């Protein structure tokens, strides 16, 4: 039975395409030409972008090249196209796109909520944002049938917004389909700084002898290089004697719907930074020490701009009332050591010398007073003796 003309043309075009693609990658792939496998895609979930790397040799073996791998059906954006990287062995096709709803090359954003566990067990709403999509092969064959297998590379990045870093999970699906789920974290974008002014411009420098009690300490938690769709919202901040607060004495500065009366909140959940201040205090447990040293820790979430106001409502949240902490379960932001003076400690060498002189003067005054009192008693006794003798003569 003769082969129809259209089928012959399709076969010739397919052969030509495969030959050209294979020739262009022959030196790079060498012995790497094989059928696609589930592990052909790797995903890097960054803080500002997501990067995909797909092994190109299995793609060539199937009948495609890097230009025929299309991210989320987007053909007309150069920034969403893959680029061939032959500097690694075996070579890969790389896709990198911003982690932003407006220009994430067609990626899907889905935010889910669930009850907290572990250190966040008392929070009823812990959010996770999942960013997902697919890289598909585009078959250039024209006609009714094709002899090229369809390639699908699914990716998924899950970002917990309460900064609990989960283990990486990998899942796979049916033939010629690769699925990779990974977890990312925004923790590396966060910093905690303390300042000595309300404008948050001058970093607080703690003197060797410590801060005076009631000195205002201005605290800022800030996110850098973070996509504009999230704000920083502090859930809880507390001070502990130990830099690792497990089994350590601690003091809650604020928890959901409750704060220390001495604390002032300036901004929380309204931008890429949150700010508050509190007066320096000391731990009674350290009262016999020259200075009181403690550390500040803040558990912080990222909230989508549209939902931040919901997390600020007390009727939507449960108050956190914790008496033990387990820092190993979560990544929290911690400050440098905060050192304060005790009430009876001298603030300088001059005050210490002045205190010594004062003690010496006090002892001298006491000696003089005792001497005068003794002399007065002797005079009284002598006068009483003379008076007694005169009365006997009468």
285 domain-assigned = yes
Query: Do 28 and 76 belong together in one domain?
Result: yes
What mean pLDDT value characterizes the chain?
74
User: Which of 333, 370, 366 is closest to 219 using CA atoms?
Assistant: 333
Domain that holds residue 296: 189-341
Query: Do 171 and 205 belong together in one domain?
Result: no
Query: Do 224 and 149 belong together in one domain?
Result: no
- To which H or E segment does residue 149 belong? none
244 domain-assigned = yes
Q: Provide the pLDDT for residue 144.
A: 73
Distance in angstroms between the alpha carbons of the first and the last residue of the chain? 171
CA distance 185 to 333: 14
- Supply φ then ψ for residue 384, to 5 degrees: -65, -35
- 56: CB partners within 8 A, 6+ apart: 25, 28, 29, 65, 66, 84, 90, 91, 92, 93
Which of 121-125, 158-162, 369-373 shows the lowest per-residue confidence on average (mean pLDDT)? Answer: 121-125
Model confidence at 394: pLDDT above 70: no
Contact 285, 350 (CB under 8 A): no
User: Which of 45, 67, 43, 68 is closest to 53 using CA atoms?
Assistant: 43
DSSP state of 39: G
Query: Do 208 and 98 belong together in one domain?
Result: no
259 domain-assigned = yes
Q: Provide the pLDDT for residue 123.
A: 55
> Across the beta sheet with 83-85, what order do the strands follow?
41-45, 49-55, 92-98, 83-85
* pLDDT-based confidence at residue 94 (cuts at 50, 70, 90): very high
pLDDT, tens only, 229-254 = 788 888 888 888 888 766 778 889 98
376 domain-assigned = no
Query: Do 35 and 21 belong together in one domain?
Result: yes
Q: Provide the pLDDT for residue 312.
A: 80
Q: Provide the pLDDT for residue 325.
A: 34
Query: Do 179 and 194 belong together in one domain?
Result: no
- To which H or E segment does residue 360 belong? helix 349-393
Query: Do 261 and 206 belong together in one domain?
Result: yes
Q: What is the arithmetic mean of pLDDT over 59-73?
A: 90
Q: Provide the pLDDT for residue 180.
A: 55
* pLDDT-based confidence at residue 181 (cuts at 50, 70, 90): low
Model confidence at 189: pLDDT above 70: yes
CA-based max dimension of the chain? 171
Q: Provide the pLDDT for residue 82.
A: 93
In terms of average pLDDT, the best of 20-29, 90-99, 152-161, 241-250 is 90-99
Q: What is the arithmetic mean of pLDDT over 68-79?
A: 91
Q: Provide the pLDDT for residue 324.
A: 33
Strand partners, 259: 254
- 173: CB partners within 8 A, 6+ apart: 38, 154, 179
Q: What is the arithmetic mean of pLDDT over 37-55?
A: 89
Q: Provide the pLDDT for residue 336.
A: 79
Q: Provide the pLDDT for residue 350.
A: 43
- To which H or E segment does residue 129 belong? strand 126-137
Alpha helices in 30-71 (DSSP H): 56-62
- Tell which wins on pLDDT, 336 or 237: 237
- To which H or E segment does residue 264 belong? strand 264-267
Model confidence at 266: pLDDT above 90: yes
User: Which of 98, 87, 113 is closest to 157 using CA atoms?
Assistant: 98
Q: In the chain, how many domains are there?
A: 2
Q: Provide the pLDDT for residue 68.
A: 92
348 domain-assigned = no
Model confidence at 158: pLDDT above 60: yes
CATH number of the domain where residue 57 is located: 2.60.40.3210
Q: What is the arithmetic mean of pLDDT over 29-49?
A: 84
369 domain-assigned = no
Query: Do 204 and 268 belong together in one domain?
Result: yes
* pLDDT-based confidence at residue 171 (cuts at 50, 70, 90): very low
Q: Provide the pLDDT for residue 12.
A: 47
384 domain-assigned = no
355 domain-assigned = no
Q: Provide the pLDDT for residue 198.
A: 92
Query: Do 18 and 111 belong together in one domain?
Result: yes
Model confidence at 199: pLDDT above 90: yes
Query: Do 173 and 62 belong together in one domain?
Result: yes
CATH number of the domain where residue 286 is located: 2.60.40.4100
Work out the number of other CB atoms within 10 angstroms of the CB of residue 199. 7
Query: Do 91 and 15 belong together in one domain?
Result: yes
Percent of the chain at pLDDT above 70?
A: 68
Mapping DSSP to helix (H, G, I), strand (E, B) and coil, where does residue 51 land? strand
Model confidence at 339: pLDDT above 90: no
CA distance 103 to 83: 18
Whole-structure pTM value: 0.58
Among candidate residues 166, 185, 204, the one where a domain is terminated: 185
Q: What is the arithmetic mean of pLDDT over 11-37?
A: 60
pLDDT, tens only, 269-322 = 899 899 999 999 988 888 788 888 888 888 888 888 888 888 887 755 444 433
Q: What is the arithmetic mean of pLDDT over 165-174?
A: 26
């Amino acid at each position: 039975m003769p082969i129809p003309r259209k089928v012959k043309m399709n076969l010739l075009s397919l052969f030509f395409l495969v030959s050209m693609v294979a020739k262009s990658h022959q030196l790079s792939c060498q012995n790497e030409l094989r059928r696609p496998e589930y592990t052909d895609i790797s995903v890097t979930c960054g803080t500002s972008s997501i990067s995909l790397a797909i092994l190109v040799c299995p793609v060539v073996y199937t009948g495609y090249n890097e230009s025929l791998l299309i991210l989320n059906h987007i053909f007309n954006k150069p920034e969403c196209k893959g680029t061939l990287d032959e500097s690694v062995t075996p070579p890969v096709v790389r896709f990198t796109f911003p982690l932003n709803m407006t220009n994430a090359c067609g990626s899907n954003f889905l935010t889910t909520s669930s009850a907290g566990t572990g250190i966040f067990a008392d929070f009823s709403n812990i959010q996770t944002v999942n960013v997902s999509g697919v890289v598909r092969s585009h078959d250039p064959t024209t006609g009714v049938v094709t002899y090229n297998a369809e390639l699908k590379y699914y990716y998924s990045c899950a970002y917990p917004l309460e900064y609990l870093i989960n283990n990486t999970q990998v899942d796979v699906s049916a033939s010629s389909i690769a699925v990779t789920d990974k977890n990312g974290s925004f923790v590396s974008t966060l910093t905690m700084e303390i300042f000595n002014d309300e404008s948050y411009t001058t970093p607080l420098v703690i003197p060797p002898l410590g801060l005076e009690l009631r000195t205002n300490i201005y605290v800022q938690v800030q996110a850098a290089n973070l996509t504009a769709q999230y704000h920083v919202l502090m859930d809880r901040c507390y001070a502990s004697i130990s830099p690792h607060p497990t089994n350590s004495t601690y003091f809650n500065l604020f928890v959901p719907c409750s704060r220390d009366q001495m604390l002032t909140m300036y901004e929380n959940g309204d931008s890429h930074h949150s700010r508050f201040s509190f007066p320096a205090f000391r731990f009674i447990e350290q009262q016999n020490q020259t200075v009181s040293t403690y550390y500040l820790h803040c558990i912080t979430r990222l909230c989508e701009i549209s939902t931040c106001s919901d997390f600020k409502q007390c009727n939507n949240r449960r108050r956190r009332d914790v008496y033990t902490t387990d820092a190993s379960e979560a990544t929290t932001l911690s400050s440098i050591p905060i050192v304060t003076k005790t009430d009876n400690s001298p603030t300088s060498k001059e005050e210490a010398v002045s205190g010594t002189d004062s003690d010496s003067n006090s002892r001298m005054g006491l000696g003089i007073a005792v001497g005068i009192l003794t002399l007065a008693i002797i005079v009284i006794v002598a006068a009483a003796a003379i008076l007694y003798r005169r009365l006997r003569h009468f």
